[in-house]
Copies of this chain bind each other. A is one copy, B any other.
Amino acid sequence: MKYTVNKLSKLSGVSISAIRFYDEIGLLKPTCRGENGYRYYEQEQLFLLQQILFFRELGFQLSDIQKIIGSNDFDKVAALGSHKRVLLQNIKRTKELVNTINKTILYLKGKTTMKNEELYYGFNSEKQASYEKYLIDISKVSPDVIYESKEKIKNWKKADWDRCHSEGDKLNKEFAVAIENDLDPASETVQQLVKRHYEWIKNFWTPTKHTYIGLSNLYSEHEDFKKFYERYNSHMIEFLVKAIKIFAEENLS
């Protein structure tokens, strides 16, 4: 089934001009052009547009979306899992906003007191956090606190995403080998691997001792990460947690 701009627009709710605009900037190219110059879209594009809408919903810039989606090993299913997590987070955030409303109403009616900063609970912190969390998440990592990531990643090109992703994959495979060879998490070889992992993480954000250990704990607590890492080796998570703890205690402050 071929979709013209009009049909695609009606199906997806995206305006025709936006669709043409996405073509112009190379975000969503039509499958082909008719002899008349008409744009025609097919199944693959429908999925891509859905992905674009999810990223857009989460506040990503089109240029960032392009880099992520254009990345060689962009994994639709994994991305959808991440979208889901962030959306669930947004629900929490919205509930916090509702809570802020309830408190403000009570305050305005003179029934409680309220700190001025409480007026803005739910507006900023968590939304930002979720954006930045997300960037990491896409590369299969999700720390608690990230401030630098956005700045750094902002200027990444498609190739950077590809490189970063494959470096992460390589690293994980080496960890798996280490586990298979029954190496000690404290051994020099493994600690060198952790060091590389730490450097890799620094692509996004520079953890402290505390947050780096927190990150490893996050791996084990988060079902999706767990699944992701256990694809490499079923003991991957516990091993990583131990190795990272040792590295952090000895090398970070």
Please list the residues of chain A having a beta carbon within 8 angstroms of any beta carbon in chain B. Answer: 1, 11-13, 43, 46-47, 49-50, 53-54, 57, 76-77, 80-81, 83-84, 87-88, 90-91, 94-95, 97-98, 101-102, 104-105, 108-109, 116-117, 119-120, 123-125
Contact = CB atoms under 8 A, between A and B. Distances in A.
Nearest to A107: B47
Contacts of A43: 116
30 contacts: A11-B116, A11-B117, A11-B120, A12-B120, A12-B123, A13-B123, A13-B125, A46-B116, A46-B119, A47-B104, A50-B104, A50-B120, A53-B123, A54-B101, A57-B97, A57-B123, A76-B108, A77-B108, A80-B101, A80-B104, A80-B105, A80-B108, A81-B105, A83-B97, A87-B97, A88-B98, A90-B94, A91-B91, A91-B95, A94-B94
Contacts of A77: 105, 108-109
Contacts of A12: 119-120, 123-124
Contact of A91 (B47, B49, B94, B104): B94
B47 A119 contact: yes
Contacts of A117: 11
Interface residues of chain A: helix, strand, loop or mixed (majority): helix
Residue among A76, A108, A120 with most chain B CB within 10 A: A120
Contact of A101 (B11, B47, B83, B105): B83
B125 A101 contact: no
Contacts of A46: 116, 119
A84 B101 CA distance: 7
